[in-house]
Structure 1
Amino acid sequence: MKKRLLSAVVAGSLVVAALTGCGSNAGQTADSGSGSSAGNNSGSDTKVIKIAASATPHAEILEQAKPILKKEGYTLDITVFDDYVQPNEVVESGEFDANYTQHVPYMESFNEEKGTHLVDAGDIHYEPFGIYPGTKSSLDDLADGDTIAVPNDTTNEARALLLLQDNGLITLSKDAGLEATVNDITENPHNIQIEELEAAQVSRVTGEVAFVVLNGNYALEAGYTVNKDALAYEKSDSEAAKTYVNIIAVKEGNEENEAIQELVKVLKSDEIKQYINDTYEGAVIPFEE
């Protein structure tokens, strides 16, 4: 079975250059580099919240929150990362106050694997996982031996495989659940080849594989929307959609920080919910408690 593992560190190399002062500002907003932490004045009346984010939709949503937070005396300093690893590392190290890139299962898996101490400070939105066209435009056209590309990180691979199962393409062992891997496939009537790639790379192989299974944010970056392009997707009332809500993550002990609380409050405001609903055509949905 073909398997390709791509390094998230390579995917985020431009961000490393930006953070280490190598002269590049790739991936950073104009506000970046202030060095202030959440709630500190740093010699002015404006407090700075440093946050790491994925480009789409997270950083876009944060940009909408900026002017609202500004009225409350906070400057939101956003840095965009191209992977899921570094945003957690910079929050753990204290370089950043928070990140907005991930769901709880990924964060918990990361904590377990890396020994980090990240916690959920607020549930903001969820992104339905979808199966999208590659070289074929309908699941009815699936042929024996076709290849489907999926994310290779623990929680997202399981989610992709569960979606394939929900659509009758494979069967997983009953106890696989949210930790399912290709080794848990018990029935594969079409002998589908599962190509495992770093999440950011999956959308880039649409010309090479029959179908791709994408995270909501990477689908958006590739120009796909759930309503128009997905061949199948997680329904809004599904357990998966509820489980994989995207969060504001902080280092343990900072979740009650006044600035973080204000950030979460703004991101859950009616104004931001309206922006999400108007912008993403069902690919991003505000989370309701």
Structure 2
Amino acid sequence: MKKFTGIFLAITLSLGLLSGCGASSGSQQASSNKKQVVKIGITGDDHKIWDKVKEKVAKDNVDLQVVSFSDYVRPNLALAQGEIDLNSFQHHAYLDKFKKEHNLQITAIGDTILAPLAVYSKTLKSVKDIKNGGKIAIPNDATNEGRGLNLLQSVGLIKLKDGVGNLPTIKDIAENPKNIQFVELAATQIPRSLQDVDAAIINSGVAIDAKFNPVKDSILIEDVTNDKAKPYINLIAAREKDKDNEAYKKVVKAYQSDDIKQFIKETYKGAQVPVF
């Protein structure tokens, strides 16, 4: 009887061990099949693109969750604070300035598009038609304001001080022969101001949200082929410590694919230009 009991216990223990091994193996397999969640912050109409990217990376075991922001400040702060993993809403000039001002350890990990800045008007056919003392609305954030002033200088409407680079302000205007009045507003408010000014400088994302096509509806548009436009190439950003994260690389690769490039061209028709 004791011998039988011993045999029974040995069999029971063996089955228990086998059962445990099977559970462990299954658990590991389930863990390996679990998608890695990656949260990316965006602004404006970019959902159209990122919904396509989300579908692509799902095949690579990445659950891309798109988080929308209504301003240009929170996406970088949220990234630095770990609320999101990536963001994609800004160009290099803006990122460089913002992270210096806020002492943030974030960096670009991939380029996306160049969205041309443009000038719009309800009454003018050309910016050169603006009358003496006319009003132009301009974004009050440093990079878009500077970009807009450089655009106006490129057609001879104003002249900036030498050496001001990509970030001039209205204080850097050296010559203003038509005594243009510049009305500084938050970028997202400018489309609503068009009826109160002669012209308005609106960045592409805000223009698209306001149902404007920068190519068709503007009276002046930035030349995206010009080397001076390079600082305004948009990007995907991550925390510096995570720049080599494999899941984040998959997101960049999915965005920088031929089918996403074609989708951007067909959808935005020049309002956004892929640069990869």
Q: TM-score range by the shorter chain?
A: 0.7 to 0.9
Equivalent residue letter for 2:188: A
Q: 1:192 aligns with which of 180, 184, 200?
A: 180
Q: What's the counterpart of residue 258 of structure 2?
A: 270
Show CA shifts across 1:57-76 (max 9, x none): x3321111111111111111
Counterpart CA distance in 2 for 1:170 and 1:141 is: 13
* The 10-residue stretch of structure 1 (185-194 or 232-241) with the greater mean CA deviation from structure 2: 232-241
Equivalent residue letter for 1:70: A
Counterpart CA distance in 2 for 1:47 and 1:73 is: 6
Counterpart CA distance in 2 for 1:140 and 1:166 is: 12
1:254 corresponds to 2:242? yes
Show CA shifts across 1:128-185 (max 9, x none): 1111114434324311111101111111110000001111111101111112000110
Q: 1:279 aligns with which of 251, 260, 267?
A: 267
CA RMSD of aligned residues (A): 1.6
The runs of 5 or more residues in structure 2 that have no matched partner are 1-29
Equivalent residue letter for 2:113: H
Equivalent residue letter for 1:63: D
Equivalent residue letter for 1:251: R
Q: What's the counterpart of residue 169 of structure 1?
A: 157
Q: 1:212 aligns with which of 174, 177, 200?
A: 200
Counterpart CA distance in 1 for 2:65 and 2:259 is: 20
Q: Secondary structure of 1:191's partner? A: coil
Shift of 1:264: 0.4
Q: 2:43 aligns with which of 28, 48, 54?
A: 54
Counterpart CA distance in 2 for 1:269 and 1:43 is: 26
Show CA shifts across 1:176-221 (max 9, x none): 1112000110111110011111111122211111111111111111
Shift of 1:104: 1.1
Q: What's the counterpart of residue 116 of structure 2?
A: 128
User: TM-score, length-normalised on structure 1?
Assistant: 0.82
Q: Secondary structure of 1:247's partner? A: strand
Equivalent residue letter for 2:86: A
Q: Secondary structure of 2:65's partner? A: strand
1:226 corresponds to 2:238? no
Q: 1:155 aligns with which of 114, 139, 143?
A: 143
Tell me which protein shows more helix as a share of its residues.
2
Counterpart CA distance in 1 for 2:120 and 2:241 is: 40
